Structure formats: C-alpha cells, structure tokens
Amino acid sequence: MTLALLVETQVGELSQQTLILPHKGEVLTYHRDSTGQAGRGQTWARLEDTSTLPDTLLTLNPVAVLLTERDTALVESGLVTNIGAKALYALESAEPITAPSTHREAVENLVGSLYAGDNTLTAYITDKRRVNGITLEPLGVKPDRADIVEFIKEQTPPKYERVEVPQMDSASALAYENMISIPDPKWSKEYINRYFNDGKSDFEIYDYALENDINVLIEGGAGSGKTMSVIAYASARNYRYFNVSSNAGIDPSQLFGRWIPREDGHGYRWQDGAVTLLVRYGGVLLLNEVNFMPERIMTVLYSLLDDRREIQLLDNGGEVIKAHPDLLIVADMNAGYRGTHELSQANNDRWKIKLEFPYDKRIEGKLIKSKSLLELAGKLRDQYDREEISTPISTRGLVAFQKNAVGLGLNLAIDSYVNGFDKDERGAVRMSIETMKVNIARDLGLAVDVPDVDTSTVEEMTPEKLVQDIMQSSFGGSN
C-alpha cells in the first residue's frame, strides 16, 4: 500500500494545489489553481517539470491519504479526481505549517522522499487510525544518495583541498564554492587579535574549543569585531566557513538540504545545504545574531549544539549525521538590541565558552589614526551610556568615518556618519563632531575650511557661539 500527498497554498481566494502520487515506479505530479469551493469543476493538469510550480509560501502542512486499488486503476486512465477529493477532505484537518517553505520546494522534497521510500511521510496522514502497518518501499527509479561534493583526503596545509562539484553547471559550482569557501588570507593578515584573562587570544580560545568539541558564544556591541574574529580565524587555519544570518524569512531547506531534480531528468537526488556540508566535512560555522534566530532553525540545531553533536535530516529519511571532529561552532549576539530576545536556559547552556567583545581601545588605537576621532568616540559613548543617544558608537563605524574622510572629504564623511543616527539625535551628534572637526582634519592630514571670525568681538565669543558660527558657515544653519 502507498499514499498520495497534497500541497496547497492559499493566495487570496486562489488555492494553488499540487497532488503527488506514485505510479509504476515513478512519482506523478498534478496541479491546478482552484477558485471554487473544494476545487469543484477544476481540472488537474499533469506536470512534467516541477520548476514551474509557484514560489509562494505555504500556510498549512501537506496532507497524505492512502491509495486503494480503485485509485490506482483510475490513475491508469488518467483520472485523479477521486484521489484529489480525498486529499482535499483530509486537508480540513491539516495543521499549521511548522517549518515554512515555498510551494515548489515542498513538492520537490515530497517527490524525492517518495522515491526514497521515506516512511516519515506517514506523519502527514491526518486519519491516524490508518497509519499502523504502513511501510513505504523505494520506487524503481531511486535517487542517488551520492553527496553533491567529494572532499579530497585531508592534508595540512591547507586543511581542505579545493571542492569538486560533480553534476552541477559552472554557475552552480561557483556559487557553492563562494558559499562555504576558505576566507581570503587577507582577513587573517589584517586582523588584530583580542586578548582575554590569562593572556589568551581569541584564536587560542577557538583552538581549544575545536579540540574539545565546545561551542563558543560571543556577546558585544554592533561593529565590535565579533564576526571578523571568526572569519579571520577560519582564514588563518584554512577552514571552510559559513555564516547563518538570522533572517526571519530563511527556509531550513536552504541550510540543511532538500530533494532536487536530477540533472539527467531521471528522478530526484538529495542535495546537502551549507550547514549539513560543514557538519559532514568540518569547518567553521557562525550563527550570526543567535538571539534573533528563528525557532524553526534552532530546533534543528539543538542536537548539534549539545553533547550529541549531530543533526537529523527528517526530509532525507531521518538520516542522522555525526559532526566532523574539525567542526567549530560559534555564535554571536548583541544583547538588548531591538528585535532580539533573551536566550532560553536550554540554549544558553549549550555555549560552554562565553566571550565578551567590548569596543577595544587598544585595537581602535591601531585602526584609527586620529586621536581626536578616538576622543570624539569616547564622548559619544558616554552619551550612549547616559541614554542621551540610542545608536552605538561602533569600531566599524569609526573605521568607515576615517576611510570616507580620506577618500571623499571630511564634510561628506561627517554627513554620512551623522545620517547613521536617529533623526532626533543627529543635531547633537553633529555639534559634538564640529567641536573636534579641525583637530580630526589635522590628525588625518586633511584641509578644512574654518570660517573667518571677527576679532573685534572675539572676547565675547563663547565656545557655543563658535560652534554655531562654524555650523552656520558650513551647513547654512544650526540643524
């Protein structure tokens, strides 16, 4: 006995419906866009290419129904209306989607799972009285389980040789290599290491964590160098690197893998996602803004982050992958920022090493040539601490200010920097910068126009009046 599956996406009053069923060693797909109640009067059209399916997001989990001998006989005649009606009835008991994906991706994953004889598909049967005793068998055209890459035997250095990507066109291969390649050597050469208690550098801590299967959590303000520290480490150690960005719209299949059509057009094959590839073969995995990470992603990662050190691919027949010995997992976060949340205790406990990355004056002193700009940063940070401004004064922002000043001019650099603050903060920030403008220009070897001052009244000129005159001359007003 086997089953058919229905994927439906509601777009306004339109129901995009795809019916998936096995027949004579292959998986057939039928689609229709229904506007009537339960799709009555609508015709199911046979699809030869699932790439034409819509990329709209699902709102309900797919449903499955058992196929009878009568259903199979009707399919022989090209009739699937009876199967579709049963599936639509089952859809009334469908549960809300738990791991959002697009309509097309969901269909392709289910088709591949049917080819593989994946028994986890029985979980989509809404009538639980019919689940017991059902065993799905692989179909005649079983997809290959070959990985999409073959890593050459490890050598040192480099840690991993160039990745070969069989059965992919050159554009896809290039995109893959860019996605989890070894970072450019320049990042390790230009990076300035941080040091913590007992004189340990960040790289020494990462080495220890890698050797002992320990996860590292970095907390610090925006632009304090958290991400760059991990990129530079991967660059220095010749490890492949991937960064999972905390994006509310990210789909788990993009990270962990999915079933895709084979290049020769015969069946489907499983393609690992970037995270799965790193788990299999080693490298550096960074979870960026982990306190903003969608729960549907963290749910898959929990078993990887605890002592099990494994992930389970439910879409690939429940395959369990033990983490490679050379897998380093690091997360970073900005605590207390808009849109973030506190880590749960279960999540927090999975990070055995926790580092804090404050804005480091020693590092900034090597990156910023202007002592006056560093003095300005200190004053603005005092204002931030007093909650007079809400925008952090990041090291990254200061480096950008200096680069813009040298390359584009000081006035434009000031405008660009001030525009990075909330509108109600910009006036005060600009005034603070104007008091240091001449000194910053001198430190950076830049020319700066200073308005003429009437010396006959200079004894009456207060610092506030001087700043106002400078702003009046430079910007035509005090705002």
pLDDT in the model for residue 388: 87
Task: Say yes or no: 290 and 342 in one domain.
Answer: yes
How many alpha carbons lie under 13 Å from residue 167 in its C-beta half-sphere? 16
Task: Say yes or no: 13 and 102 in one domain.
Answer: yes
Flag the least confident range among 331-345, 399-413, 435-449: 331-345
pLDDT in the model for residue 248: 64
Task: Say yes or no: 266 and 179 in one domain.
Answer: yes
Q: How many structural domains are present in the chain?
A: 3
Task: Say yes or no: 194 and 284 in one domain.
Answer: yes
Task: Look at residue 164 and tell me if it is in a domain.
Answer: no
pLDDT in the model for residue 1: 64
Higher pLDDT: 5 or 38? It is 5
30: exposed, middle or buried (Cβ count in 10 Å: 0-12, 13-18, 19+)? buried
pLDDT above 70 as % of the chain = 79
Q: What is the pLDDT of residues 10-19, one digit of tens each?
A: 888 888 999 9
Q: Please identify, among 113, 130, 147, the residue that sits at the C-terminal boundary of a domain.
A: 130
pLDDT over 80 at 264, yes or no: no
Report the relative pairing of strands 268-272 and 3-11 from DSSP bridges: unpaired
pLDDT in the model for residue 461: 47
**Domain that residue 94 falls in:** 3-130
- As a dihedral over the C-alpha atoms of residue 107, residue 108, residue 113, residue 114, rounded to 10 degrees, the angle is 70
pLDDT above 90 as % of the chain = 31
Mean pLDDT for the chain? 80
* Cα–Cα separations (whole angstroms), residue 302 to 120, 299, 326, 466: 20, 6, 19, 59
382: left (phi over 0), alpha (psi -120 to 50) or beta: alpha
Rounded to an integer, what distance in angstroms lies between the CA atom of residue 64 and that of residue 27? 14
CA-based torsion, 362, 364, 368, 371: positive or negative: negative
Report the relative pairing of strands 241-244 and 283-287 from DSSP bridges: parallel
In the chain the first and final C-alpha atoms are separated, in Å, by 76
303: exposed, middle or buried (Cβ count in 10 Å: 0-12, 13-18, 19+)? middle
Inter-helix orientation angle 426-444/395-408, to 10°: 60
pLDDT over 80 at 174, yes or no: no
Distance of CA 52 to the CA centre of its chain: 26
Kindly report the pTM of this predicted structure: 0.60
pLDDT over 90 at 232, yes or no: yes
Task: Say yes or no: 119 and 259 in one domain.
Answer: no
Tokens of 183: 């970072």
Task: Say yes or no: 126 and 19 in one domain.
Answer: yes
Report the relative pairing of strands 319-322 and 241-244 from DSSP bridges: unpaired
Rounded to an integer, what distance in angstroms lies between the CA atom of residue 242 and that of residue 282? 11
pLDDT in the model for residue 157: 36
Taking residues 198-213, report their average pLDDT. 94
pLDDT in the model for residue 137: 76
Task: Look at residue 395 and tell me if it is in a domain.
Answer: yes
pLDDT in the model for residue 178: 54
Taking residues 356-384, report their average pLDDT. 90
Based on its alpha-carbon atoms, the radius of gyration of the chain, rounded to whole angstroms, reads 29
Flag the least confident range among 24-38, 44-58, 186-200: 24-38
CA-based torsion, 355, 358, 362, 364: positive or negative: positive
Tokens of 309: 């050190």
Task: Say yes or no: 120 and 94 in one domain.
Answer: yes
Under the banding of pLDDT at 50, 70 and 90, the label for residue 70 is confident
Task: Say yes or no: 367 and 353 in one domain.
Answer: no
Task: Say yes or no: 197 and 324 in one domain.
Answer: yes
Task: Look at residue 141 and tell me if it is in a domain.
Answer: no
Instruction: Please check whether residue 151 is in contact with residue 161, taking contact to mean a CB–CB distance below 8 angstroms.
Output: yes
pLDDT over 90 at 48, yes or no: no
Task: Say yes or no: 199 and 338 in one domain.
Answer: yes
Q: Please identify, among 130, 162, 185, the residue that sits at the C-terminal boundary of a domain.
A: 130
Higher pLDDT: 308 or 93? It is 308
Residue count of the chain:
479
Task: Look at residue 161 and tell me if it is in a domain.
Answer: no
Task: Say yes or no: 452 and 436 in one domain.
Answer: yes
Task: Look at residue 408 and tell me if it is in a domain.
Answer: yes
pLDDT over 60 at 104, yes or no: yes
Under the banding of pLDDT at 50, 70 and 90, the label for residue 98 is low
| 103-135 residues labelled b (16+ CB within 10 A) or e (exposed) | bbbbbbbbbbbbbbbbeebbebbbeeeeeeeee
Higher pLDDT: 67 or 1? It is 67
Q: What is the pLDDT of residues 109-167, one digit of tens each?
A: 888 888 877 777 888 888 766 555 577 777 754 444 333 333 323 323 334 333 333 34
Tokens of 247: 């994006």
Task: Look at residue 146 and tell me if it is in a domain.
Answer: no
Q: What is the pLDDT of residues 265-321, one digit of tens each?
A: 777 778 888 898 899 889 999 999 888 888 778 888 989 999 999 998 888 878 889
